[in-house]
Amino acid sequence: MTEPAAQPSGAVWLTREGLNQLLGALRAQGYEVIGPRLGEGAIIYDRIQTIEDLPAGWTEEQEAGRYRLRRRQDDALFGYNLGPQSWKKFLHPPVLRLFSAEKNNGEFRILPPDGESPRYAFVGVRACELAAIAVQDRVLLGDQFVEPNYEARRKELFIVAVQCTRAAPTCFCSSMGTGPQVQGGADLVLTELSEGFVARAASARGAEVLAAIERRPASAEECRQAEEAVAAAAAQIVRRLDTRDLVRRLYEACESPHWDDVARRCLACTNCTMVCPTCFCTTVEDTSTVTGDRAERWRKWDSCFTESFSYIHGGSVRTSVRSRYRQWLTHKLASWVDQFDMFGCVGCGRCITWCPAGIDLTEEVKKLLAPV
Amino acid sequence: MLRGLPRKPRIAVFKFASCDGCQLSLLDAEDELLAVADAVEIAYFPEASRRMLKGPYDIGLVEGSITTHHDAERIQQVRRQCRTLITIGACATAGGIQALRNWKDANEFVRHVYARPDFIQTLKMSTPIAEHVPVDGELRGCPINKNQLVELVSALVAGRKPNIPTHSVCMECKRQGTVCLLVARGVACLGPVTQAGCGALCPRYGRGCYGCFGPMEAANPASLSEIFRAQGRPNDAIVRDFRNFNAWAWQFRQASEEAERA
């Protein structure tokens, strides 16, 4: 096949069949392809084979404490925003055996870790989610100590980003400077239009995969439409978080009476931290069999909303829910900046939607910072 | 938790007012049962064996609630015989489903149910074991989870702290990737106020959590009631939500009484 003349932007046009070929090409390269699909009344991230698995014609309604699947007028494959799960469940697994050990004839032996880490290709990563992966990169890879399980999954990861062409009422990526336009971190960037996709490679690996599938240069009109679609998503964003001088202002609000108001509503159920794409905390559990000849160490997602999370000798440091919510919010938006030089929040709004009580951090920040 | 336990601790299983389902969990732990029987001496377990050895015991597992004068005295003896006493199941830890009598006149039930009410001696209330004697640990649930029971016994034998989380069921749902029923489908689910341990069994099958494991640490049922109400759930349904197996656990009791008054 002759190489089609590239547009100045390098953008190409993919039909749906082209996308299907892309999924096939990724699988042929040995990737486990993960993408959006319908499951349990939501759009979740799971293994996909072909474009038939994608949630064609489905979208969602989101508001604080509420999510509902809805049919779209069209059959768009990526016509939704965000579901309950984030990609962290693959890169930073919720439950992971760190090692196991056996006692045999009085001899104690550490067993080798479980197999090789999976090689993932993510399809349908949003701009805010790329930013979230970048945050976890900073936390888990960016310092003196590297988290090896994350690293093994991360270094093999192939990312097909899909830009948002609509925004949910819970989105506030524009406030956090993370979206809806993809800024980096992907191998391929797609924008869905009614008949297909405007695609561009954002890495050498991305270009290589793209070169192997059916495509043609995108027309100037198609590129313009794609830009307009993303701009339309940006225009739909209604939630705002004022980040100016936020770190100092939040620290100053540490004794605000409003924390008590949040604590009255907060269930301390941990849902916000579980759905947050940047929350990275884990706990470690050691187990032993009743016979005492086998022991295992497991790592599990943990949350600063549990009592045991701040347990040190003598008891828990954060005994009140007030102190736990304050810890979480100020970490996301203030002390994270001190620690990692970036916000721990990317504006995806999952903590708003998936809080059963509908606690909305953008609203809470406004109230915390309001002059008394 | 336990120090200086003998290499093969003597274990006893006692039953009070209950359905036996929790102690059966031990027999139900088929894969681990032989190992358990090997690691501990089952000294007193009438449900499983006619061989009933006298105390004292290293570990006592107590099932059931206190509903009679006789049991109120017997639990004192049991406590004296057990070095470590663990309550197992919603009856023992919270009073059980039979604690529904606590809102009613128990004598009236007796008059209606029994041909010879004068043969029946019962207390007005069904109360958890911890209201009568000090308790060293508890396993929640209606029934308890057999994996938690095996974990408890393994930990006691090894002299380590058992991994018995006290956080919400939500965390179990999220770790296993179950989509939130409350948020995505408007199902009245007690998960956000209920202690984990069952592996979020009901939500995994699309049913809201019934709260079998009772209130979690720092449970906030008042907030959950407000959420249910906002979703259009009537107050009498909310009363019933909180008034089941763990009705007498104070957090749930308070929530059901508030809903009753509302």
Tens place of pLDDT for every residue, chain A, 372 residues?
Answer: 344 444 445 899 999 999 999 999 999 999 999 999 999 999 999 999 999 999 999 999 999 999 999 999 999 999 999 999 999 999 999 999 999 999 988 898 999 877 788 999 999 999 999 999 999 999 999 988 999 999 999 999 999 999 999 999 999 999 999 999 999 999 999 999 999 999 999 999 999 999 999 999 999 999 999 999 999 999 999 999 999 999 999 999 999 999 999 999 999 999 999 999 999 999 999 999 998 899 999 999 999 999 999 999 989 999 999 999 999 999 999 999 999 999 999 999 999 999 999 999 999 999 999 876
A40–B217 C-beta distance less than 8 A: no
Residues A116 and A206 in one domain: yes
List Cβ neighbours of B217 (8 Å cut-off, separation of 6 or more).
A268, A306, A307, B166, B167, B195
Residues A213 and A268 in one domain: no
* Residue A6 domain flag: no
List Cβ neighbours of A73 (8 Å cut-off, separation of 6 or more).
none
Mean pLDDT for the stretch of residues B202-213:
97
| CA–CA distance, B26 with B254 (Å, rounded to integer) | 33
Residues of A in contact with B35 (CB under 8 A): 289-291
* Residue A4 domain flag: no
Q: Indicate the pairing of strand A282-288 with strand A294-301.
A: antiparallel
Residues A219 and A89 in one domain: yes
* Residue A194 domain flag: yes
Write out the H or E segment, with its range, that includes residue B241. helix B235-242
Residues A169 and A311 in one domain: no
Residues A214 and A265 in one domain: no
Fold of B10-158: Rossmann fold (3.40.50)
A290–B157 C-beta distance less than 8 A: yes
| CA–CA distance, A84 with A100 (Å, rounded to integer) | 32
- Return the structure tokens found at B2: 């336990």
Overall domain count for chain A: 2
User: Minimal Cα distance from A38: which residue of B?
Assistant: B179
Residues A282 and A365 in one domain: yes
* Residue A1 domain flag: no
Q: How many CB atoms lie within 10 A of CB B255?
A: 27
A residues 262..281 contacting B (CB < 8 A): 264-271, 274-275
Q: Which of A236, A267, A282 lies at the terminal end of a domain, its last residue? A: A236
Domain boundaries, chain B: 10-158, 169-261
Residues A300 and A363 in one domain: yes
Q: How many CB atoms lie within 10 A of CB B126?
A: 26
Residues of A in contact with B170 (CB under 8 A): 269-271, 274
Q: Which of A217, A236, A255 lies at the terminal end of a domain, its last residue? A: A236
A267–B223 C-beta distance less than 8 A: yes
Q: Domain containing A42: what range? A: 12-236
Interface check for A101 against chain B (CB to CB < 8 A): the answer is no
* Residue A190 domain flag: yes
How close B123 comes to chain A (CA, Å)? 35
* Residue A5 domain flag: no
Q: Which of A201, A236, A271 lies at the terminal end of a domain, its last residue? A: A236
Type of residue numbered A46: D
A269–B191 C-beta distance less than 8 A: yes
Cα A169 to Cα A96, A178, A181: the distances in Å are 34, 16, 17
SS3 content of chain B, % helix, strand, coil (to 5): 45, 15, 40
Residues A203 and A255 in one domain: no
B184–A68 C-beta distance less than 8 A: yes
Residues A232 and A308 in one domain: no
Q: Which of A103, A290, A309, A359 to mutate to test the interface with B (most CBs of B within 10 A)?
A: A290
A94–B176 C-beta distance less than 8 A: yes
| CA–CA distance, A283 with A147 (Å, rounded to integer) | 14
Residues A175 and A253 in one domain: no
B179–A41 C-beta distance less than 8 A: yes
B175–A301 C-beta distance less than 8 A: yes
Residues of B in contact with A68 (CB under 8 A): 184
- Return the structure tokens found at A197: 């996709």
* Residue A142 domain flag: yes
Residues A112 and A180 in one domain: yes
